[in-house]
Amino acid sequence: MNVLITGGAGFIGSHLAAHHLELNDSVYVVDDFSAGRMENINPFLSNPNFKFEKADLCHWQNINNAVAWADRIYHMAAIVGVKKVLLDPKAVISSNLGATEKLFNAISEVKPTVRTLLASTSEVYGFNSKECFSEDDDLVFRSTNPVRWCYAVTKLADEHIALAYHHQSSMNVVVSRIFNSIGPNQTNRYGWVVPTFIKQALANQPLTVYGDGTQTRSFCDVRDTALALEQITSSDIESGEIVNIGRDEEISILDLAKLIISRTNSKSSIKFVPYLEAYGIEFEDIAHRRPVLDKLYKYTGFEFKWNLINTIDNLIKLELDATNNPTR
């Protein structure tokens, strides 16, 4: 099978590429490194089934040829990360919307029947007061602090683009709302909490918990995320459906910090940082982010291979190996 992955040098996209290469598929990655990294795809460059092209998807000259070649398309490209979003919201809006429109227009003209997955986000659920979110729940956004919501709004608009092309052009598209993924190759440069905590704990530095730490998240190992994305795209789920991807177990950020201190045998303390100090603007966080996974289980019978402790222990080992062997 020929697999095209936009944003395939990113955190999730590169794991998705690795998964398909393990299945002996041919993988074509396009990425402009606005969020991805060359280090994520370096292990694939010697594989004859792997092709990479550096390009901005909004201006990609080879897009029609790539779409015609593909048997499956994953649209993973997006500017992500709270700090990145707050720093440059104009780039987030123009890139996230422009790339999706460009890609879906090409697909509709060249190969509308190709199975396409649009990667969306749990952020689109916004401030819905429910403790866990299903795909038909209302999406609730505050009227205040529009910059904070520009990423979620662009991803919701991406969903509408995908569903509009499905409706009007009979495109074969599935939308995945991805909840918090963690795992190898995730960096702390945009404030991702788990790699940040692990680095701080191993250095015996205070773990910086934003707010009071009572906010909860559901963390899924990225290797399970990639597997779930492949399985839902391969399933008989109908075109135009939306499906949650993630793990349905919650932990508070404070308890996460304590867990990482324990697993690293760290002497670190915990430092509570106000959102204004962390982000430079007033920031209202979402209290809970837990997915209802009925659709994922229904269409794939999905079984997780990783739990939170296994993943954290694996990441601690990888961080220690990288520290002890910096040239590797």
DSSP symbols for 150-208? HHHHHHHHHHHHHHHHHHHH---EEEEEE--EE-TT--STT--HHHHHHHHHHTTPPEE
pLDDT in tens, the chain (328 residues): 999 999 999 999 999 999 999 999 999 999 999 889 999 999 999 999 999 999 999 999 999 999 999 999 999 999 877 777 777 888 888 889 999 999 999 999 999 999 999 999 999 999 888 889 999 999 998 877 777 788 899 999 999 999 999 999 999 999 999 999 999 999 877 668 999 999 999 999 999 999 999 999 999 999 999 999 999 999 999 999 999 999 999 999 999 999 999 999 999 999 999 988 888 777 778 889 999 999 999 999 999 999 999 999 999 999 999 888 765 4
Check if 165 is active-site: no
DSSP symbols for 232-267? HHHS-PPTT-EEEES----EEHHHHHHHHHHHHT--
What's the CA gap between 270 and 77, in Å, rounded?
Answer: 34
Q: Distance of CA 89 to CAs 63, 150, 241, Å?
A: 26, 7, 29
Domain 2-183+220-246+289-305, classified CATH 3.40.50.720, yes or no: yes
**Which residue out of 28, 74, 151, 165 is catalytically annotated?**
151
Among 151, 155, 176, 173, smallest CA distance to 164 is for 173
